[in-house]
């Protein structure tokens, strides 16, 4: 005897009420401890580039945003790759992107695909870009290639030599 | 389309420097003219300072200041802006400029004049001046040859996002494809030259990197503009570069002049990758 099911079977997850897991991009960015006479926290820009070098999203820009008369913006151009590819088109500060400078140490940032930065990221190959520029110091740019959305948990790492320490990106599907 | 004759580079320099009271001699005695801005890429409205000099070495002050009498500053919105704190010293002139709006600012010195040569009592004489001074040439002069000159010396600085360069439509001038404040080492830039707003084909261009004091060769690049007035240059390294072009035509504005010599020099900054 055959049973005919005439009603649609709802997805099991919806019946139980468990939400679909969001894809995540976790970052750890190390600002190196430097032994210099005059130390200033670096300006750091973190953004995502497509393969053609166009900017898909700005994640964070760390700069002196608390200075009077927006004086901190004077040095944004020292992050010269970011400035050219995106920064110069923007009006700062930007909610969720502009942030104060950070001291030496490892700093964690997390972005989910439901957030403003990643929700419109189309599937494809990307580069996570991290550029640091330090007053009375140098400038360094790191690139971490990744695929989006991640199909498995992935770790990508890059090591700076001068103005950045270890930069690690962890992608979770 | 007027017939254009590429002119000796030296002549372009001579006429571009006319405003600096450089005596007119043979092309070999002409000097380079240039302006040098303190910054060209800025991320917020602020002041810059610009040096201006007549000097062969790039970019070192060792000869004469460039006269700023004919300095014109154009803001991103097309309005003229006023340079401040102008000073003319022994070896350089300088001015300050408040770049208080985003976009591309353009600083230009335009020198117009006439030069003439004639024979008087068996001697070849030279004369230099303005159109309303032509009567200074004696009536009994023979073989009078009058040349009009139009020299443009300029540089650019951008606050925030670069804005489009509008052709002034007068004389020889440089326009994008590549914006002059968007130059990076190792990349190729494509520029267009225009004469009176129209593409200038077959014009000789010279590009010299700054820092001549610290190397042996001039390391200049020379090229000619194509049919559309375009020329391209690949920057070997970061730094300031001097661009010079010269041309000749018959489109004089002073009726007594038989030909017109056009000169253009610009200083651009190339950033590292």
Confidence bin at B105 (pLDDT 50/70/90): very high
Task: Count the alpha carbons within 13 Å of B150 in the hemisphere toward its beta carbon.
Answer: 19
Q: How far apart are CA A104 and CA B221, in angstroms?
A: 46
Is the separation of the CB atoms in B158 and B181 below 8 Å?
yes
pLDDT tens digits along A1-21: 555 555 555 555 445 555 556
Mean pLDDT of B181-194: 98
Per-domain boundaries in chain B: 9-166+242-270
Q: What is the 3-state secondary structure (H, E, C) of chain B?
A: CCCCECCCHHHHHHHHCHHHCCCCCCHHHCCCEEEEECCCEECCCEEEEEEEEECCCCCCCCCEECCCCCEEEECCCCCEECCEEEEECCCCEEEEEEECCCEEEEEEEEEEEEEEEEEECCEEEEEEECHHHHHHCCCCCEEEEEEEEEEEEEEEEEECCCCCCCCCCCCEEEEECCCCCCCECCCEEEEEEEECCEECCCCEEEEEECCHHHCCCCCCEEEECCCCCEEEEECCCCEEEEEEEEEEECCCCCCCCCEEEEEEEEEEEEECC
* Residue A21 confidence (pLDDT): 67
**Percentage of chain A with pLDDT > 70?**
88
Q: In chain A, how many H helices and how many E strands?
A: 2, 9
- Tell whether B238 lies on the interface with A, counting CB pairs under 8 A: no
Nearest CA in chain B to A84: B182
* Residue A19 confidence (pLDDT): 53
A70: which chain B residues are within 8 Å (Cβ-Cβ)? Answer: 44
Sorted by where each starts, the structural domains of chain A and their CATH numbers stand as 23-172 (2.60.40)
Its ipTM equals 0.84
- Tell whether B44 lies on the interface with A, counting CB pairs under 8 A: yes
What is the distance of C-alpha B168 from the center of its chain? 14
Nearest CA in chain B to A89: B161
* Residue A61 confidence (pLDDT): 98
Mean pLDDT of B61-76: 97
Is the separation of the CB atoms in B6 and B224 below 8 Å?
yes
B18, pLDDT greater than 60: no
pLDDT tens digits along A66-85: 999 999 999 999 999 999 99
* Residue B30 confidence (pLDDT): 75
Distance from CA of A73 to the nearest CA of B (A): 6
Selecting from B161, B272, B273 the residue whose C-beta is nearest the C-beta of A88 gives B161
* Residue B27 confidence (pLDDT): 37
* B84 DSSP β-pair partners: B96
> For the purposes of burial, counting CB atoms within 10 Å of the CB of A138, is it exposed (0-12), middle (13-18) or buried (19 or more)?
exposed
Q: Is it true that the peptide bond before A93 is cis, omega within 30 degrees of 0?
A: yes
At CB < 8 Å, which residues of chain A contact B? 70-71, 73-77, 80-81, 83-84, 87-89
* Residue A2 confidence (pLDDT): 53
* Residue B206 confidence (pLDDT): 98
* Residue B26 confidence (pLDDT): 34
Mean pLDDT of B200-206: 97
Mean pLDDT of A120-134: 97
Mean pLDDT score of chain B? 90
- Tell whether B46 lies on the interface with A, counting CB pairs under 8 A: yes
How distant, in Å, are the alpha carbons of A114, B2, B4, B247 from that of B250? 66, 7, 8, 11
Are the Cβ atoms of A74 and B46 closer than 8 angstroms?
Answer: yes
Mean pLDDT of B9-13: 49
Nearest CA in chain A to B270: A80
* Residue B24 confidence (pLDDT): 35
B149, pLDDT greater than 60: yes
pLDDT tens digits along B219-251: 999 999 999 999 999 999 999 999 999 999 999
A76: which chain B residues are within 8 Å (Cβ-Cβ)? Answer: 43-44
B184: which chain A residues are within 8 Å (Cβ-Cβ)? Answer: 84
Residue of A64, A77, A78 for testing the chain B interface, max B β-carbons within 10 Å: A77
- Tell whether B271 lies on the interface with A, counting CB pairs under 8 A: yes
Confidence bin at B13 (pLDDT 50/70/90): low
B42: which chain A residues are within 8 Å (Cβ-Cβ)? Answer: 74, 77
* Residue A9 confidence (pLDDT): 53
A74: which chain B residues are within 8 Å (Cβ-Cβ)? Answer: 42-44, 46
Nearest CA in chain A to B47: A74
Q: How far apart are the first and last CA of chain A?
A: 43
* Residue A6 confidence (pLDDT): 52
Distance from CA of A90 to the nearest CA of B (A): 8
Selecting from B44, B161, B182 the residue whose C-beta is nearest the C-beta of A73 gives B44
* B224 DSSP β-pair partners: B204
Q: Of B2-11, B45-54, B251-260, where does the model show the most confidence?
A: B45-54
* Residue B147 confidence (pLDDT): 96
- Tell whether B186 lies on the interface with A, counting CB pairs under 8 A: no
**Percentage of chain B with pLDDT > 70?**
89
Are the Cβ atoms of B43 and A87 closer than 8 angstroms?
Answer: yes
Are the Cβ atoms of A80 and B272 closer than 8 angstroms?
Answer: yes
B255, pLDDT greater than 80: yes
Cα–Cα nearest to B75, from B50, B51, B97 = B97
B7, pLDDT greater than 60: no
* Residue B86 confidence (pLDDT): 98
A44, pLDDT greater than 90: yes
Nearest CA in chain B to A87: B160
pLDDT tens digits along B75-100: 999 999 999 999 999 999 999 999 99
- Tell whether B184 lies on the interface with A, counting CB pairs under 8 A: yes
Are the Cβ atoms of B161 and A89 closer than 8 angstroms?
Answer: yes
**Residue B218 structure tokens:** 């001039």
* Residue A8 confidence (pLDDT): 52
Q: Which residue has the tokens 């009375």?
A: A136
Nearest CA in chain A to B273: A81
B272: which chain A residues are within 8 Å (Cβ-Cβ)? Answer: 80
- The DSSP letter of residue A82 is H
């Amino acid at each position: 005897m055959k049973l005919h099911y005439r009603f649609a079977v709802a997805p099991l997850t919806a019946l139980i009420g468990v939400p679909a897991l969001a894809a995540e991009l976790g970052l750890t960015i190390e600002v190196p401890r430097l032994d210099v006479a005059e130390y200033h926290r670096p300006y750091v820009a973190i953004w995502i580039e497509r393969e053609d070098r166009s900017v898909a999203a700005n994640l964070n820009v760390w700069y002196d945003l608390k200075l009077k008369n927006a004086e901190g913006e004077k040095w944004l151009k020292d992050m010269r790759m970011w400035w050219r590819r995106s920064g110069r088109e923007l009006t700062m500060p930007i909610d969720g992107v502009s942030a104060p400078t950070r001291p030496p140490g490892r700093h964690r940032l997390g972005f989910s695909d439901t957030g403003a930065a990643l929700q419109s990221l189309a599937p494809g190959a990307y580069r996570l870009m991290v550029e640091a520029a330090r007053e009375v110091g140098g400038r360094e740019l790191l690139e971490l290639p990744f695929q989006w959305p991640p199909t498995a948990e992935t770790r990508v790492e890059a090591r700076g030599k001068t103005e950045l320490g270890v930069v690690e990106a962890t992608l979770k599907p | 389309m007027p017939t254009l004759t590429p002119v000796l580079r030296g002549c372009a320099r001579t006429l571009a420097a006319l405003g600096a009271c450089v005596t007119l001699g043979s092309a070999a005695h002409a000097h380079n003219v240039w302006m040098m801005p303190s910054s060209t890429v800025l991320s917020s409205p602020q002041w810059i300072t610009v040096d201006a000099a007549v000097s062969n070495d790039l970019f070192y002050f060792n000869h004469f200041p460039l006269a700023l009498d004919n300095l014109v500053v154009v803001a991103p919105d097309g309005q003229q802006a006023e340079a401040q704190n102008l000073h003319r010293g022994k070896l350089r002139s300088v001015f300050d400029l408040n770049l208080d709006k985003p976009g591309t600012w353009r600083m230009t010195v335009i020198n117009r004049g006439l030069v003439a040569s004639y024979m008087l009592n068996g001697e070849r004489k030279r004369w230099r001046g303005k159109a309303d001074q032509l009567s200074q040439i004696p009536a009994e002069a023979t073989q009078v040859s009058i040349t009009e000159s139009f020299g443009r010396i300029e540089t650019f600085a951008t606050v925030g996002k670069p804005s489009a360069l509008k052709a002034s439509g007068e004389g020889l001038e440089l326009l994008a494809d590549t914006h002059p404040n968007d130059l990076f080492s190792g990349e190729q830039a494509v520029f267009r030259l225009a004469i009176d707003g129209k593409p200038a084909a077959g014009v000789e261009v010279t590009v010299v990197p700054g820092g001549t004091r610290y190397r042996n060769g001039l390391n200049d690049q020379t090229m000619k503009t194509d049919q559309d007035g375009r020329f391209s240059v690949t920057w070997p390294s970061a730094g300031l570069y001097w661009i010079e072009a010269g041309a000749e035509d018959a489109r004089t504005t002073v009726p007594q002049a038989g030909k017109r010599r056009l000169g253009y020099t610009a200083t651009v900054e190339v950033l590292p990758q």
